[in-house]
Amino acid sequence: MSVHAPIVTLTMNPALDVSSTIDRVVPEHKMRCGPSRFDPGGGGVNVSRAIRNLGGHSVAIYPLGGPTGQAYRGFLEHAGIVGRVVTIAGATRESFTVDETSTGEQYRFVLQGPTLREPEWRACMSVVGDHLPVGGFLVASGSLPPGVPVDFYARLARIAAEHDVKVVVDASGPALMAALDEGVYLIKPSRDELAGLIGADADLGLDEQVDAARAIVAAGRSAVVALTLGGAGAVLVTADEVLRLPTPRVEVASAVGAGDAFLAALVLRLAEGRSLADAFRTAVAAGSATAMLPATELCRAEDVEGLEAQLSS
């Protein structure tokens, strides 16, 4: 394990990811799938899993409930992730990914999470408060389940700001907007999410995207904006610099988890004291290394190293 500043991830809406294959998806028929794969998923947990794959360490905080939650916990412990669980009454959700082998298309079904009662989401906030990574990073990633207030991430940012903790938020919609209103260290929007933040059309040109990111930084809403553009690469914007990198050429097997791996690598390298440019390069490599793998697998360190070398040449 590498030596680095502490990292805590928060996943308020974890999901047991089930993935399989089928020749073709057709309506009204029983479709016999291939072998199934089960992974503990959700934004923050995926970040923790990818950090571990890259030789780092983090503490993952997440609410779990019901039989699905029990299974989820077992899979996560098997993956070697240090977890802090908040037990809830509702059952942890599932998500289902099917790869259609005849066409290469991928179908992703994401179920709604359980409703959290106020004592439950307040308990999550309390556990985060008890495990604040002072001098390090708190990565709050993924959607908020029903019952959780939209300013939940903003409340965490307010607490973290008093304890030398850099808050990283990977979310969308009102939850992200509220966090930005409070002020955070880093956000990782997609092209569409960035457009939504400024009330613009999703078809922003690159210069318009950079201008939008700069405006967020200049307003003190986020010190760093890491914009992921899929096959078009990524852009990182701070008050002092704009960095652009293309996506390495890889054969894409599954897009699931690529953004989480990108964020994991970016935060891990920054926690190790590396420059933003170095961290950004590893992040782009990790996202592509994850896209190379089937289903819900996350990046392997050797693949990331090879792709990073491509980006450095």
pLDDT tens digits, 213-225: 999 999 999 999 9
Q: What is the CATH number of the domain that holds 236?
A: 3.40.1190.20
Query: Can you tell me the distance from the alpha carbon of 185 to that of 137, in angstroms, rounded to the nearest whole number?
Result: 9
**Residue 297 forms part of a structural domain:** yes
Domain containing 261 equals 7-312
| Gap between the Cα atoms of 167 and 157, Å rounded | 6
**Is residue 132 assigned to a domain?**
yes
pLDDT in tens, 148-181: 999 999 999 999 999 999 999 999 999 999 999 9
Tokens representing 46 are 């995926």
2, part of any domain: no
- Residues in Cβ contact with 126 at an 8 Å cutoff, skipping those fewer than 6 apart: none
- Helix spans in 7-117 (H): 43-53, 66-78
Question: 303 in helix, strand or coil?
Answer: helix
Q: Which residues are catalytic?
A: 260
Number of domains in the chain: 1
How would residue 250 be classed by pLDDT, with cut points 50, 70 and 90?
confident
Three-state secondary structure call for residue 10: strand
- What's the pTM value of the predicted model, to 2 decimals? 0.94
> How far apart (Å, rounded) are the C-alpha atoms in residues 270 and 278?
9
Residues in the chain: 313
Q: Left (φ > 0), alpha (ψ -120 to 50) or beta: where does 39 sit?
A: beta
Q: Which residue has the higher pLDDT, 297 or 34?
A: 34
| 1 located within any domain | no
- Domain membership of residue 159 (yes or no) is yes
Residue 249 falls inside a structural domain: yes
Classify residue 290: in a domain, yes or no: yes
Convert the pLDDT of each residue in 191-215 to its tens digit.
889 988 888 776 788 899 999 999 9
